[in-house]
Structure 1
Amino acid sequence: MSNFNAVLARNSENAPSGMGKHSQTVAFSHYNNLSAQLPVNPETGRIVEGGVKEQAEQCFKNIQEVLKSIGHDMNDVVRITIFLKNISDLNVVGEVYSIHFSDYQPTLTTAAVAALPLGALVQVEALISNGEGTIPNAPQAGDLVKIASNTNNAPTSPLSTQSVAFSHYNNLSAQLPIDPQSGKLVAGGAKEQTSQCLRNIKAILENMDVPFDDIVKINIFLKNLSDIDSVNEAYRAFFPDSAIARAVAYVPARTVVAVSGLPMDALVQIEAVVSHGDGTPPQAVEDRHGIVIWANNTDCAPRCALSTQTVAFSHYNHLSAQLPLHPETRALVSGGIKPQAEQCLKNIQAIVESIGHSMNDVVKVNIFLKNMEDMGAMEEAYSAFFPGGIPARRTVGVTSLPHDALIQIDAVVANAEGTPPKA
């Protein structure tokens, strides 16, 4: 048996097999990455009857069945992401959510999108801690603990914890542009709201003595894609944050998602994944301090001054979302959804191969479609890159994409060798 981590994909007959080629859960190292669950009855393969409440209940039932099949339960959930068709359904879905997390609250992201597969009203995704990890005979097997943290210097919510750390990552709840003292949205437009979201993230990290430059991935949920220039203006004021980061021009991997609605009618919401050099206890001394962040770009995929193509930390690589742009010309490829999906995946493949990995190391894929009716053609392209259907997957419909693209794809990739400690 190899002493390296292994990608472990699993499926249960008690949860829906879903649309397209993907696995219900893919474990690597100390995390299980679950595919987003639709409100599908696994016996009939159809959306359950009723409204959004019944659909939300089915989504969580499906997650529970997946977790049960791999020896985990809802207490092992680190992050929940809820996509709604209608933001007005937020309170109803929140009531269902609360039933499953009455004692411990994971981090949470909620947004409304233009469309969901099968015409669903809700889709729920989970990231799960994997205490034993996938390293054979690892000395810390079964001992790692979650650390949930909150600070009054950032907005608090009864439905979520601001940050949940497990192993070498902190996963933050998506931050709205809320003033933590007043509990209200800040005045102004997208620029001011973006600044407040990032200030809230910074306050959460400072509460844990974690530098802002330890962020490895940022996800921006934007109500109006036309606000992207204002968002970027605010973004540049926060990244890079330190002199060291400025010296190497470090910026995190990044994905921008155009949504149809956000809680409190906000214009922007920002989610962060943060490296955690110390890990969560217990960690052997030699496994603790000094693991480095590796940021990598290649000319074989489109570059962006505001993001790094892939940022590795410990046993994961987090990729920026890839548009169907030709890497040399940065022009949108022509021909419709299939060639655009192929180009997105070619860009991902080029990035993955540039860091010594292959598409077999991809554990999670997130697909953003302009038109949900393009699912079939997208699947044709996707299957050529993932014939075994190993990665977990999420697919949502978005209101718009940069360059007027039809598709955007990002990915999380296994990093078996990990990143080394500082010399």
Structure 2
Amino acid sequence: MSDTIIKLSRNTESAPQSSVSTQTVAFSHYNNISAQLPVDPKTGALVAGDIKDQAKQCLTNIKAIVESTNHAMDDVIKINIFLKDIADIDAVNAVYTTFFQDYLPTRTTLAVAALPLADALVQMDALISNGVGTAPQEPCDLVKVANNTENAPISAISTQTVAFSHYNNLSAQLPIDPKTGKLVAGGVQEQAQQCLKNIKAVLEGIDVPFDDIVKVNIFVKNLADIAAVNEVYTTFFPDSAIARTVAYVPARSVVVACALPMDALVQIDAVISHGDGTPPQAVEDRHGIVIRANNADNAPKSVLSTQTVAFSHYNHISAQLPIDAKTGTVVAGDVAAQAKQCLNNIKAIIESINHVMDDIVKVNIQLKNIADVDAVNDVYKTFFNSDLPANTTIGVAAIALDALVQIDAVMSNAEGTPPDA
């Protein structure tokens, strides 16, 4: 592993600080921002008021972090919004759009079972473009490229896909027929198929093949529906002869939401490799930079996902359940034991590609019971020796295998992937 590119972890006093995360972790051409709760950094308390006041505080905190790194809100590529009540979405949108001047980022919105702070109605995290790079990269005027196609649903509050440097991030696609603007008829299979068709249309709109996807996030309303979703999912991957030859499937996380916009049963978002880069990076052959997928024997394997998929200077790690790779079953014990197993699985995956846990830039934790957050954090902190990654923690309605916790991660990849090494 090369250490020529340096991870940059930063906190500002203008936003709430945490003992279990760093506010923003930059690596190469992206900044990863921890989930922001509606906390006033001056008082350390939840702001008074309704959902609009809370949404404004979350965004004010994100803005403070972004500006502390000499960036602006229009540098935001992706925002994830976690609501306690999906009915609050219109009120949040009214505040949200006031924070962006020139364009709207990609976005994923869902209702969750619980948030880490009692009485919080919303939290948000973000991904920021970082044209300056991190040392020893030289600053460059990379262009952010936002795109919508009429062949997928167009939204007044988000852009379908935003590319920066060697990645595209897609907004969550609901099962909406773009011709009618309404949910497709049918059950969860029809809805999952429409979500994936919309993703494919977005990618075709930027001349990117489906197998350039490196990470997929599936949000379902009912965990029992995941088997039906998977039946549809496997008809979309692999999508090319090359991918079929190596049986390539992206990294993947499944999150059970309490509710989704439009009362949908499923929504799906994705992270896409972008070999062309964005100007003024030279246009390369699409496969000039190679997607590098890897599975380790000492972590659980799945036919539906790859444990880690690297592209250019990032690795995306599939959600890890507390499964012992030797037995294929959930480990015995309480949430602390389960959290330790999830993190041991991530560690095994990372070490199999000659990286270390401190190369992680962002961690996402889903808990079945938000009251377990302190017990999980006690375990979590023992896995890192230097600055903690950015972090988002939510309570979810259910987790596969009746687990108490699952964890996924994004990792820096200083050596790049060929021929970018």
User: After TM superposition, is the score higher than 0.5?
Assistant: yes
**Stretches of 4+ moved more than 4 A in 1?**
284-289
1:341/1:407 contact within 8 Å kept = yes
CA distance in 2 between counterparts of 1:263 and 1:23 reads 30
2:233 pairs, out of 208, 232, 235, with 235
Partner of 1:202: 200
Partner of 2:314: 316
Q: Supply the AA of the counterpart residue of 1:9.
A: S
The alignment status of 1:277 with 2:287, answered yes or no, reads no
CA distance in 2 between counterparts of 1:333 and 1:146 reads 44
CA distance in 2 between counterparts of 1:211 and 1:287 reads 13
Corresponding residue SS for 2:36:
coil
Deviations 1:76-122 (A, max 9, x none): 00001100000010000010101112431110110000000112100
Partner of 1:168: 166
Corresponding residue SS for 1:256:
strand
Corresponding residue SS for 1:351:
helix
1:307 pairs, out of 299, 305, 308, with 305
> Alpha-carbon deviation of 1:330?
1.2
CA distance in 1 between counterparts of 2:285 and 2:193 reads 35
CA distance in 2 between counterparts of 1:36 and 1:21 reads 12
> Alpha-carbon deviation of 1:5?
1.1
The alignment status of 1:28 with 2:27, answered yes or no, reads yes
Partner of 1:51: 50
- The alpha-carbon distance between structure 1 residues 286 and 4, as it changes in their structure 2 partners (threshold 3 A), is farther
Partner of 2:122: 122
CA distance in 2 between counterparts of 1:348 and 1:243 reads 30
Partner of 2:77: 78
- The alpha-carbon distance between structure 1 residues 233 and 33, as it changes in their structure 2 partners (threshold 3 A), is same
Partner of 1:38: 37
The alignment status of 1:12 with 2:4, answered yes or no, reads no
2:74/2:101 contact within 8 Å kept = no
> Alpha-carbon deviation of 1:386?
2.2
- The alpha-carbon distance between structure 1 residues 389 and 209, as it changes in their structure 2 partners (threshold 3 A), is same
> Alpha-carbon deviation of 1:387?
4.6
> Alpha-carbon deviation of 1:388?
3.7
Q: Supply the AA of the counterpart residue of 2:153.
A: P
> Alpha-carbon deviation of 1:284?
4.3
RMSD: 1.5
2:143 pairs, out of 142, 145, 157, with 145
1:21/1:386 contact within 8 Å kept = no
CA distance in 2 between counterparts of 1:348 and 1:320 reads 9
CA distance in 1 between counterparts of 2:383 and 2:210 reads 35
1:12/1:66 contact within 8 Å kept = yes
CA distance in 1 between counterparts of 2:85 and 2:283 reads 48
Q: Supply the AA of the counterpart residue of 1:17.
A: Q
Q: Supply the AA of the counterpart residue of 2:211.
A: D
> Alpha-carbon deviation of 1:382?
0.5
Q: Supply the AA of the counterpart residue of 2:96.
A: Y
Corresponding residue SS for 2:320:
coil
1:279/1:288 contact within 8 Å kept = no
Deviations 1:209-252 (A, max 9, x none): 10000000000000000001100000011011111111100000
2:358/2:386 contact within 8 Å kept = no
Counterpart mapping for 1:315-354 below 5 A: 315-354=313-352
> Alpha-carbon deviation of 1:278?
0.8
Q: Which deviates further from its counterpart, 279-288 or 322-331?
A: 279-288
CA distance in 2 between counterparts of 1:285 and 1:102 reads 29
Corresponding residue SS for 1:118:
coil
Partner of 2:94: 95
2:3/2:415 contact within 8 Å kept = no
Corresponding residue SS for 1:75:
helix
CA distance in 1 between counterparts of 2:41 and 2:189 reads 44
> Alpha-carbon deviation of 1:70?
0.7
Identity of aligned residues (%): 65
Partner of 2:416: 418
CA distance in 2 between counterparts of 1:217 and 1:371 reads 26
1:366/1:395 contact within 8 Å kept = yes
Corresponding residue SS for 1:279:
coil
1:383/1:389 contact within 8 Å kept = no
> Alpha-carbon deviation of 1:365?
0.2
CA distance in 2 between counterparts of 1:102 and 1:234 reads 38
Structure 2: tracts of 5 or more residues without a match: none
> Alpha-carbon deviation of 1:4?
1.7
> Alpha-carbon deviation of 1:135?
4.0
The alignment status of 1:262 with 2:260, answered yes or no, reads yes
CA distance in 2 between counterparts of 1:337 and 1:23 reads 23
CA distance in 2 between counterparts of 1:378 and 1:66 reads 26
1:402 pairs, out of 400, 403, 406, with 400
Count of paired positions: 419
Partner of 1:221: 219
CA distance in 2 between counterparts of 1:318 and 1:125 reads 17
Q: Supply the AA of the counterpart residue of 1:419.
A: T
Q: Supply the AA of the counterpart residue of 2:249.
A: V
> Alpha-carbon deviation of 1:390?
2.1
2:275/2:284 contact within 8 Å kept = no
- The alpha-carbon distance between structure 1 residues 285 and 202, as it changes in their structure 2 partners (threshold 3 A), is closer
Structure 1: tracts of 5 or more residues without a match: none
1:21/1:388 contact within 8 Å kept = no
2:3/2:414 contact within 8 Å kept = no
